[in-house]
Amino acid sequence: MLRRMRKLFRSESGQGMSEYLIIVALIAVAAIGVVTVFGKDIRELFSASTDSLAGNSATNNAKKAAVKDKTLKSFGSHSTSGD
């Protein structure tokens, strides 16, 4: 009986499953983050696609990302002056 208990405690058969669960949890957190950040843009793109497929006139309300010139000096700053 004691030998059987030791074998159960030393068994690593569940280790692979727990590693997969950690990976799946990290992927789920990343997916939630992406949807949170880009959710509105994704909804607008799908809305435009379904409107076009339905035959309605396509209106593009999506805003393009504004690219600001960044240098090493202004990388960490949040100022809009562009210095």
46-62 pLDDT, tens digit each: 888 888 888 877 565 55
**Which residue type does 80 have?**
T
Are 35 and 28 a contacting pair, CB within 8 Å?
Answer: no
Q: What is the model's pLDDT at position 43? A: 87
User: Which long-range CB contacts under 8 A does 75-78 form with residues at least 24 apart?
Assistant: none
Q: Is the pLDDT of residue 28 over 60?
A: yes
Query: pLDDT confidence of 42, banded at 50, 70, 90?
Result: confident
Global pTM value = 0.43
Query: pLDDT confidence of 32, banded at 50, 70, 90?
Result: very high
- Per-chain mean pLDDT for the chain: 76
